[in-house]
């Protein structure tokens, strides 16, 4: 084959290859355009109506149980993870001292009441005596000095009665306080829930306001979803939300309602807040906790615990 024929064959092959590449690039361009159009349509019709985050965790208003009186722990009926109902006895303190104080106060009350009865009798006698002297004063059978003396006695009797009444009220207050202190030796659960962070031990001497344990109301757990601030423009209280937990996986879907927004971002309430007014500053997108109430029936069917991870999606179509 001549050199010229080989050149012609090579040129033809190159032309075919170039045409094939152009065709492939054209197909790629069409595919990219179609994908972009599909994504744009998906964003406009679906994605723009929702905001999602996996930075969400369960939380609850945990009840901290403390003692209101000083005493030694005689019995502990609560262990971590135990379910309790409101009013159940969690801890019982030794009530020997409280009972002694109550008995002493009740004895003092009986004594004060007896003194009040005696003072009332003195007032009654003084009143009768004064009435008799007043009746005789007109006839001159009773001197003025004697009448004055009787009146002074009646006034003294009334003063003694007033003091006795005040004493009874004061001792009655001591009795009421002793009864209250005795009742406080029994520490009950303030809410329904699950016991957590038990720190109290049998035989321990506890002081007022020292935490003994906590009760987590798992039936009232809610979700704090930490959305970026740029996602919150169209988020409002009352909008519907769907959530899945890492505990149960995507097969279990929770439904909830947006209740409101926290008072500040996480960085604002941090133990050491950021000082953006000092040194070099780099803008960081902040996250604001959004509180979401869970459906109680779904929560009862699939219980959660505080601190579990949740993936949260809010439906923005509700504009009210």
180 and 75 in one domain? yes
Helix H or strand E segment including 63 = strand 63-66
261 and 235 in one domain? yes
CB within 8 A of 261, min separation 6: which ones?
Answer: 232, 288, 289, 290, 291
Is residue 16 assigned to a domain?
yes
Spatial CA neighbour of 258 closest among 219, 303, 307, 292? 292
The separation between CA 214 and the C-alpha centre of its own chain, rounded to angstroms, equals 11
21 and 72 in one domain? no
Is residue 139 assigned to a domain?
yes
pLDDT of residue 234: 87
pLDDT of residue 64: 94
pLDDT of residue 152: 64
Average pLDDT of each block of 10 consecutive residues along the chain (320 residues)? 56 65 75 73 61 94 94 93 94 94 94 90 74 57 57 76 90 95 95 94 92 94 93 90 93 94 82 73 86 94 94 82
pLDDT of residue 84: 95
Asked if residue 202 lies in contact with residue 76, where contact means CB atoms within 8 angstroms, the answer is: yes
Is residue 320 assigned to a domain?
no
pLDDT of residue 45: 52
Between the two ends of the chain, the Cα-to-Cα distance in Å is: 83
Helix H or strand E segment including 116 = helix 96-137
> Which CATH number belongs to the domain containing residue 95 in this structure?
1.10.287
């Amino acid at each position: 084959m001549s050199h010229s024929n080989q050149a012609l064959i090579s040129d033809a092959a190159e032309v075919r290859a170039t045409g094939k590449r152009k065709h492939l690039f054209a197909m790629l361009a069409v595919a990219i355009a179609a994908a972009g159009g599909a994504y744009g349509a998906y964003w406009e019709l679906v994605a723009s109506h929702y905001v999602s985050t996996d930075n969400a965790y369960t939380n609850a208003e945990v009840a901290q149980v403390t003692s209101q009186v000083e005493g030694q722990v005689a019995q502990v009926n609560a262990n971590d993870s135990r379910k309790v109902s409101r009013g159940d006895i969690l801890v019982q303190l030794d009530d020997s001292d409280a009972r002694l104080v109550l008995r002493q106060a009740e004895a003092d009350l009986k004594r004060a009441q007896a003194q009040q009865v005696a003072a009332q009798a003195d007032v009654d006698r003084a009143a009768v005596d004064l009435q008799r002297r007043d009746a005789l004063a007109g006839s001159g059978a009773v001197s003025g000095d004697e009448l004055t003396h009787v009146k002074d006695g009646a006034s003294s009797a009334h003063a003694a009665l007033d003091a006795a009444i005040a004493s009874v009220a004061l001792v009655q207050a001591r009795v009421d306080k002793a009864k209250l202190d005795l009742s406080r030796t029994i520490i009950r659960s303030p809410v329904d829930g699950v016991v957590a962070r038990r720190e109290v031990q049998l035989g321990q001497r506890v002081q007022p306001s020292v935490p003994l344990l906590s009760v987590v109301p798992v039936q009232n757990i809610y979700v704090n979803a930490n959305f970026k601030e740029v996602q919150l423009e169209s988020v409002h209280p009352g909008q519907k939300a769907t959530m899945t937990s890492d505990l149960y996986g995507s097969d279990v879907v929770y439904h909830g309602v947006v209740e409101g927004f926290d008072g500040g971002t996480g960085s604002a309430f941090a133990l050491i807040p950021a000082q953006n007014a000092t040194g070099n500053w780099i803008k960081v997108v902040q996250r604001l906790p959004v509180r979401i109430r869970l459906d109680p029936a779904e929560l009862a069917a699939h219980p959660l615990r505080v601190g579990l991870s949740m993936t949260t999606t809010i439906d923005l179509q509700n504009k009210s």
